[in-house]
Amino acid sequence: MIYLDNSATTRPFDSVIDVMNACMREDYFNPSAAYKPAVDLDRRLRACRRRIAAQVGAQEDEVIFTSGGTESDNLAILGCAMTLHGRANFVCSALEHPAVADTIRRVEALGHEVRVLPVDARGIVDLDAAAHVIDEHTALVSCLQVSNETGAIQPIEALSRLAREKNPNVRVHVDGVQGFMRVPVHMARMGVDMYALSGHKIHGPKGVGALVVRRGVRLVPQMTGGGQEKNLRSGTYNAPGILGLGEAVREMAQRREQVEKMRGMKARLWAQLSAAGGVRVNGPAPGESDSAPHILSLSFEGVRGEVMRNALEGEGVLVSTGSACASHKQKVSGTLRAMGLTGEQADGTIRVSLGLMNTMEEMDEAAARMIGMAALLARYRRR
């Protein structure tokens, strides 16, 4: 099997599994308790905070543990909206994952306006248009760091600067789920107030993530109870998950050269596919500076993406047709529509996403199977 759907989830590192297993078997204490084994466990959780904070240019006490990217995005958006008393507008890009796109629509029920930032044909936020969308009444701007469908890296720093020129008090939220540990981020330098991340996208466990919240940013908690996480996210700590997330961050940091090797694998796969013809890349091409190292969106001429995905599964190659969180909805991708793709192009799209466990040999094999399958399926094209 060749697994090329790492943007949906990744296989955990063996060390992550070992750390979590040991925690559940031996360090099963509640880290909020006062006796020594619990205090020792809490100390290890704090080390995980520091590890995450160091990767995003933040401080230890700015890391709020959550159940994953979706909860982090919800806390950032709704938590910000509920602090406001007057009417404001909330801005997000046309590329957002449902965790942001659907959540930001909920602020309309609170009396606020929602505005959408357009993107260009490469799937990059249009900064000229953004200057007309964002204004002095914008309370929050939300933009993903890396498109989960095309791998396009967004101009977060420039967007943040533009937003603060319009309103110095605006909050900038970044969904970093597809960018964390694969694309550099420094919250202070980039002007980011809140940054969401998830463990299972970086070879860590599912069900754990974080929202990094810059000091001074006020949020209304969406989960109340025991007051954990500075009263922003109550609930007993998921100690095995947090330790697993911390271990995944440690491993990813030590394997930075493998992250760059993914860029080479992506380029090799595309070189073979493009040489065969009948396929286009959606978004920045491999090798371009605003192309993330691990995601490739492909449209095969005359072949439906869903058919291609199913056919490749039969060949032992696992890909997707887009975000796993929305794949069951069977509708045209809003991201591809915003980029100006035709209905046929969008319908013929698959997403290939790499992880640290993929190899160059797998790229050669996957390319050969895709080329052969595309040629076979194109014979049955509807006329």
Residue 77's φ and ψ, nearest 5 degrees, are -75, -55
Strand order across the 295-300 sheet: 279-282, 295-300, 349-353
In Å, how far from its chain's centre is CA 91?
18
Per the annotation, the verdict on 325 as an active-site residue is yes
Which residues are CB-contacts of 43 (< 8 A; sequence separation ≥ 6)?
none
E strands, the chain, in order: 2-3, 63-66, 89-93, 113-117, 138-144, 171-175, 194-198, 209-213, 279-282, 295-300, 317-318, 349-353
Give the DSSP letter of residue 11: P
Using the structure block, give the residue that is written with the tokens 């500075």.
230
Distances (CA, A) of 23 to 34, 101, 247: 18, 36, 12
Catalytic residue among 23, 92, 143, 325: 325
The DSSP secondary structure of 28-47, one letter per residue, reads -S-TTSSSHHHHHHHHHHHH
| Pair 296, 281: CB distance under 8 Å | yes
Nearest to 292 by CA among 220, 205, 185: 185
Q: What 3-state class would DSSP assign to 19?
A: helix
CB hemisphere CA count around 243 (13 angstroms): 22
List all residues 6 or more positions away from 198 whose beta carbon is below 8 Å from its beta carbon: 68, 69, 72, 177, 180, 208, 209
Active site residues: 325
